[in-house]
Structure 1
Amino acid sequence: MSVYKKLQEARCEMQKMTLSKSGKNTFAGYSYFELGDFLPAINDLFLEKGLCGVVSFTATLATLRVVDVEDGSAVEFTSPMGSAALKGCHEVQNVGAVETYQRRYLYVTALEIVEHDALEPVTGAPQQAQTKEKPNQQYDWTALIADIAKAKTMDILKAAFDAGLAAAKAANNKAMAGTFTKAKDKRKSELSAQSEAA
């Protein structure tokens, strides 16, 4: 049995479970899954299916490698690394916060765990599009960076970059604006190389 079949079985069993969201975003008014809400269930499912999840980080990429412990086949899920600037925290605490978020997003992706649209509480549902933007708005920086990193065309890349830059400006976050610019330049270079090779 391949890693893909086992992972799909784990996904189907996972979606039948009733999981509680313990994370609360009181500012935007929604609940979300924290890592501890679903990781114990995933570990039990992986043990039962003969799978093992291994998370690793580089300066630019977070990776979840799901391995079939019986035949060694594996599938990887990746996400561009983000950054955190939590007030009153040491640098290592900011690194830990980013890694925790990345682990959560990687497992949510791998197991197809369905959450709310993270942008909707921030940008407002379509019928609320005209409401005045609130100060100190919270944004899903990792998702915005991922949109830039996975853009398939230059037009999509421009739209993703513009969305990220607008969010960074609205939040007055110059560091994220720089991160978006670096991610855009990297993806632009990749797309250009693909175009030349074609």
Structure 2
Amino acid sequence: MSVYKKLQEARCEMQRKTLSKSGKNTFAGYSYFELGDFLPAINELFLEKGLCGVVSFTASLATLKVVDVEDGSSIEFTSPMGSAALKGCHEVQNVGAVETYQRRYLYVTALEIVEHDALEPVTGSPQQAKDKAVQQYDWTGLMADIAKATTMASLKVAFDDSVAAAKAADNKAMAARFTKAKDKRKAELSNQEQAA
């Protein structure tokens, strides 16, 4: 059996699985698959089918090579490398974030995992999409997410989502309030870390 036939069988079996989306984009208001939502299922399918996925990166290209472990035949999926500039993170953390996203996109492509919801918030004209997004903002909830962050990483995510929402709504006052709340919570978390 060829690598193509095995991969197609794996794709069909993936379509029959019920997967839950654990990723949340509060800015655009949709859920998405994170790598952990489907990679365990893919690894099990690949084991059953005699396939192995090998991901590699160069400065310009991310590659997923799906290999038939019985005959050595393979197929490759590639994607241009992106970059990340996460605030408050070391360079290696930014590299790790890019590699995680690239792995997710490569497996989504290889197994043809469909994520309809990601397109729904941006259908229609750009102004309609912006109007719809602005109406969905829960300023109190976004502020609460900052205040209840338990780690610097979760604080960064909550702050980035909040500021993105404020920018999309062209609300500079809220952006300033989010920054003030983030600085306060950051100081609290720093004090907790020093006390521990």
Sequence identity (%): 87
**How big is the shift at 1:125?**
1.4
1:83-125 Cα offsets, whole Å, 9 max, x none, are 000010000000000000000000000000001264553xx21
Instruction: Report the number of matched residues.
Output: 134
Q: Quick one: which amino acid aligns to residue 57 of structure 2?
A: F
What TM-score, normalized by structure 1, do the two folds share?
A: 0.64
- After TM superposition, which residue ranges in structure 1, 4 or more long, deviate above 4 angstroms? none
RMSD after superposition: 2.1
- Equivalent residue, structure 1, for 2:123: 125
Larger radius of gyration: 2
1:149-191 Cα offsets, whole Å, 9 max, x none, are xxxxxxxxxxxxxxxxxxxxx99xxxxxxxxxxxxxxxxxxxx
Partners of 2:36 and 2:85 in 1: how far apart? Answer: 23
Q: Quick one: which amino acid aligns to residue 31 of structure 1?
A: S
Q: Quick one: which amino acid aligns to residue 78 of structure 1?
A: T
- Equivalent residue, structure 1, for 2:73: 73
* SS at 2:54 equivalent: strand
- Equivalent residue, structure 2, for 1:12: 12
Q: Which has the higher helix share?
A: 2
Q: Quick one: which amino acid aligns to residue 102 of structure 1?
A: Q
What TM-score, normalized by structure 2, do the two folds share?
A: 0.64
Note if contact 2:64-2:78 (Cα within 8 Å) is conserved in structure 1: yes
Note the 1:150-165 alignment, pairs <5 A: none
Give unpaired runs (5+ residues) of structure 2.
Answer: 132-166, 169-196
Note the 1:58-137 alignment, pairs <5 A: 58-116=58-116, 118=118, 120-121=120-121, 124-126=122-124, 128-131=125-128, 133=130
